[in-house]
Structure 1
Amino acid sequence: MRGLLVSSIGVAVSAALVLPLPAPSGAAPPPPPPPAAKVPGKAPDIAGSTQSLPLAPTTRSLAPTAERGLLQRRVAPFSMVGVVWDDPAAELRGTVQVRTRASGTGAWSGWQDVETHNHEHGADPGTAENRAARGSTAPLWVGASDGVEVRVRPATGEPAALPAGMRLELVDPGEAPEPSEALEAAGEAEEPDEPEEAEEPDEPEESEAPEHPVPTTAALTRRAAYPTPEIHLPVLEAAAKPYIGPRPKIVSRAGWRASEALRERGFVYSKTIKAAFVHHSATGNSYTCGQSASVLRSIYRYHVVSSGWRDIGYNFAVDKCGNIYEGRAGGVTRAVRGAHTLGFNANTMGIAVLGSYSRVNPPAAAVTAVARLTAWKLGLFKGNPKGKVTLTSGGSGKHPRGRKVSFNVISGHRDGFYTDCPGTRLYGRLGTARNASAGYQGRV
């Protein structure tokens, strides 16, 4: 399903974009790579590009556990990197490291680790979105780059083979909006008039709403020219209902310039929102707040084009400066089903704090933003940020399918799966976020 969509919107392939680096001593530098391929009829609002480069054994051994990677290559500009493979159920038991060359200066970075444990993110087992997905690492933000080197090594003593069909994905987010445009676009995110798919059942084990056919490039172009009419739903103020926190500023998808023709057209909804799962994006902390929109567009493109998801996985994102962003489309006031906590996407929302917080403390502004967002959004569904809730597992590895599990209403991703996410340092601040969120709701 998703593979057809990827090819229809112009994923740039390695042969057209890759040139060797560095040039031999005394030789003229290699010519610049050609621009990313363009597809006739491509919808005009699809920003950015993706280069997909197959990884090959880097040793003489052709054994399935042999190291794979790429030697230094000059490529078209990109800012985010990740690795994907064919089978979403296959785990990459090993390490992924990348070096990148900064555009302009030509300076190479040191080796950087890419988070490999990404299986726990994504759509629930048995859903249409899960069936269309690929295996993937977390994406890593590296900033504007035009060269790359990568090595993938199996874990020491690990008998399992590396996953088949491994490819390096290099994502260019496209032209970044002016910071004022992105941050001043906060406020009302557009809401759909009616759901385009049937409402999700309460229990995750029941059937999902039907899939939508993959649109053609011509259909994408028509959609860009004649978008589906949308309306603004009324804003629920704090005084309109007990224990609803004030609505915070939310940068809309238009504010961070999400390309709506990139995602699948329909939406999937749950019946309610019972809990919020907090994540870190594991994309690193080298971004500036002025780059947050670009980071989001890169994650969005990586989730859809590279990983095969229907849209960005998270319902909301928060940057290091405390700005809040609309994530998966479908309406910020509604129970949009995301792809963020494997087994527990039904009746929950996912909030990603942009960055990596296993060894770095999250900024206070980001923790405050999580508290303000949950006070409002959980309040719309009568959620108590300091309360408990029981959810039914759709199958997560940590909790078998069908098991009833008790969670904090504001939980970390690791509560639902064996993972470090949202990072030890951020996880340790969730108690602070719960108390502050309850306070914003007016609870004693």
Structure 2
Amino acid sequence: MANFKRRTWLALGAMVLGGTGIAVAATAAAPDGDSDTITPTALHTMKAETRDDGSAVIPQGGTEPFSLLSMTWSDSTEPLTGTVEVRVRDAESGAWSDWTPLGVENTPGETGGRGATEPLWVGPSDGVEARVTPADGGESEPLPEDLRLDLIDPGTGPDKGKANGKDKEKSNNGKGNGKDENTTSPSPEPTEEPTTEPAPEPTGTTSAPDPEPTAPTEEPTSEPEPEPTEEPSSPGPEPEPTTPTEPSEPTEEPTAPSPEPELTGEPPSPEPTETTEPTEEPTAPEPTAPSEPTDEPTEPAPTPTEDTTDPTTDPDPEPEPEPAPGVATPNVVPRADWGAEEEKIEEAPEYLDRLDAAFVHHTATGNDYTCAESDAVVRSIFAYHVDSLGWNDIGYNFLVDKCGTVYEGRGGGMDKPVRAAHVYGFNGYSTGIAVLGDYNATTTDAAVHQAVAHVSAWKLGHFDVDPTAQVTLNAAGNTGIYETGEEATLHTISGHRDGYATECPGENLYNALPEIRRIAGTFTTQ
């Protein structure tokens, strides 16, 4: 993925509602589908008023419909030290909520976007009020400039036009790990004798192949410092993709029908019949070779945007990883089914050479959502990352709701090692799985553990990584825990906080990781 560039809004129009200070930016076309039942997401912004005492407010008032919000500011290198509180008006009942704080812990992602608090899902709302108080009255730590409240309407996805998911039935009654939909990528062809042992535990150190950027300068429990750019300052030539070996054609026309040769099973008898067997056994595709970096990445200032600090630069496009033996493909809701607006994606996906770890997150968007609304929550997070923060795509590879339904996150292929933006310093080695909600106070249940474990085992299994093992990686940036280039010994299924100074994935979800690793290990022995 390329360095961040200021996005050109794909807008149907913008307007200011008289007396409310609401700037409205509607997105362009809806996803492919029936225009009568699918509406795009929309971003509405409200500029905060600065007071003489150093605080800032957004007076109570009506708004365009929205379901997710966040406070943002122009300079992502400038932290917000203080408190941000909001209250909203329920669109159906007209009742105002209590004051709710927004978390100011931010983690970096793509370079150059706006600074932001954690987003909060509030459900269908049509009114808002906000107040921002600096930590010390604003004397030594004034509030950042261009404070605004970003309100996101999730629109309606390809689910029969049921707005915000309110009328959609619960996906699986809290049981299992997905809907009835299959993934867009078929399950790997099983072998005749599948491997029954887990992949061996890595023993060596995976180090960054290119020089690391200098260490950032700030970030307490939120974001380290300047993150290096996503691509080298002078990118090298695009590597040539390798082509899998094609099976040879039979030398003669068979006189009778014969079974198709197995691509992944045991090779056929070395004595083929004269007319019914091909002369050669097709070979499995070879994994693509890692590309050589050509330059040293630059290092911009710290941002609460998408991390680009990882060692991999431009590997071969569309790699074909080896199938994970013994791990069935999980049920995953593809992007088309939850309503990803592909027309917003400006840059092609970037692929890693391999995956060494999976990092578990929570979205910190709150737990006041029903599983019927999960599609809308995912669309809102997509719009928040792309429209509000200016990222190229949603930051996570997968998302899991509290009922255990798994959603495809960043595009590029669920079975491919797509580089995402979820854990500063280790994005170049890992896949990111985020559970919808905040799990500092709320616990997760067995459906979530099963779903996260299944996806982790499946993804890591493509690269013969044991989900119960440990691996040593080199930090590609100063994460608040590790200095740039420092070796980090991590579980192959780790929490965000294991690599970066953050509360994510919340105390309760983090405490569930040993059980998730245990479950993941059972998938490799099935």
TM-score, normalized by length of structure 1? Answer: 0.79
Amino acid in structure 2 at the alignment position of 1:163 = P
The residue aligned with 2:118 is 138
SS in 1 for 2:457: helix
Shift of 1:203: 5.1
The residue aligned with 2:212 is 205
Q: 1:189 to 1:10 in 2, by over 3 A?
A: farther
Select the residue among 9, 18, 21 that pairs with 2:11.
Answer: 9
CA contact (8 A) 1:12 1:51 kept: no
The yes-or-no answer on 1:428 pairing with 2:428 is no
Pairs within 5 Å for 1:320-339: 320-339=402-421
Structure 1 stretch displaced more, 293-302 or 201-210: 201-210
Amino acid in structure 2 at the alignment position of 1:380 = H
Select the residue among 183, 203, 208 that pairs with 1:187.
Answer: 183
CA contact (8 A) 2:26 2:42 kept: no
CA contact (8 A) 2:319 2:417 kept: no
Question: Could you give the per-residue CA deviations for residues 370-416 of structure 1, whole angstroms, max 9, x where no partner exists?
Answer: 01111111111111111111222121232222212111101001111
Q: 1:203 to 1:373 in 2, by over 3 A?
A: farther
The yes-or-no answer on 1:290 pairing with 2:372 is yes
The residue aligned with 1:219 is none
The residue aligned with 2:43 is 50
SS in 2 for 1:378: helix
The residue aligned with 1:437 is 520
CA contact (8 A) 1:202 1:270 kept: no
Shift of 1:155: 2.2
In 2, Cα distance between equivalents of 1:3 and 1:101: 35
The residue aligned with 1:60 is 52
The residue aligned with 1:401 is 484
The residue aligned with 1:95 is 83
In 1, Cα distance between equivalents of 2:90 and 2:186: 37
The yes-or-no answer on 1:281 pairing with 2:363 is yes
Amino acid in structure 2 at the alignment position of 1:404 = E
CA contact (8 A) 1:88 1:133 kept: yes
Shift of 1:241: 4.9
In 1, Cα distance between equivalents of 2:66 and 2:83: 22
SS in 2 for 1:292: helix
CA contact (8 A) 1:371 1:436 kept: yes
Q: 1:150 to 1:278 in 2, by over 3 A?
A: same
Q: Say which structure is richer in helix.
A: 1
Select the residue among 65, 74, 96 that pairs with 2:62.
Answer: 74
Shift of 1:68: 1.2
The residue aligned with 1:378 is 460
SS in 1 for 2:437: coil
CA contact (8 A) 2:186 2:329 kept: no
Q: 1:339 to 1:108 in 2, by over 3 A?
A: same
CA contact (8 A) 2:321 2:462 kept: no
In 2, Cα distance between equivalents of 1:362 and 1:160: 37
In 1, Cα distance between equivalents of 2:359 and 2:6: 31
Q: 1:401 to 1:190 in 2, by over 3 A?
A: farther
Select the residue among 316, 337, 345 that pairs with 1:263.
Answer: 345
Amino acid in structure 1 at the alignment position of 2:62 = R
Amino acid in structure 2 at the alignment position of 1:421 = C
In 2, Cα distance between equivalents of 1:397 and 1:103: 41
The yes-or-no answer on 1:86 pairing with 2:74 is yes
Shift of 1:205: 3.4
The yes-or-no answer on 1:356 pairing with 2:356 is no
Shift of 1:355: 0.4
What RMSD in Å do the two structures reach over aligned CA positions?
A: 2.9
CA contact (8 A) 1:390 1:405 kept: yes
Shift of 1:16: 3.0
Q: 1:190 to 1:84 in 2, by over 3 A?
A: farther
CA contact (8 A) 2:83 2:133 kept: yes
Pairs within 5 Å for 1:109-188: 109-118=97-106, 120=107, 122-123=108-109, 129-130=110-111, 132-156=112-136, 159-178=140-159, 179=168, 183-188=179-184
The residue aligned with 2:496 is 413
SS in 2 for 1:75: strand
Q: Percent identity?
A: 40
Shift of 1:74: 0.8
Q: 1:37 to 1:401 in 2, by over 3 A?
A: closer
Q: Which runs of 5+ in 1 are unaligned?
A: 21-32, 124-128, 192-200, 212-231
Question: Could you give the per-residue CA deviations for residues 188-224 of structure 1, whole angstroms, max 9, x where no partner exists?
Answer: 2599xxxxxxxxx85583874589xxxxxxxxxxxxx
In 2, Cα distance between equivalents of 1:274 and 1:235: 13
CA contact (8 A) 1:177 1:293 kept: no
Shift of 1:69: 2.1
Structure 1 stretch displaced more, 46-55 or 78-87: 46-55
The yes-or-no answer on 1:107 pairing with 2:114 is no
Aligned length: 381
In 2, Cα distance between equivalents of 1:77 and 1:190: 38
In 2, Cα distance between equivalents of 1:440 and 1:139: 34
The structure with the largest alpha-carbon Rg is: 2
Shift of 1:185: 3.6
In 1, Cα distance between equivalents of 2:18 and 2:209: 47
The residue aligned with 1:388 is 470
Amino acid in structure 1 at the alignment position of 2:144 = P
The residue aligned with 1:225 is none
Shift of 1:11: 7.5
Shift of 1:5: 2.7
SS in 1 for 2:382: helix
SS in 1 for 2:383: helix
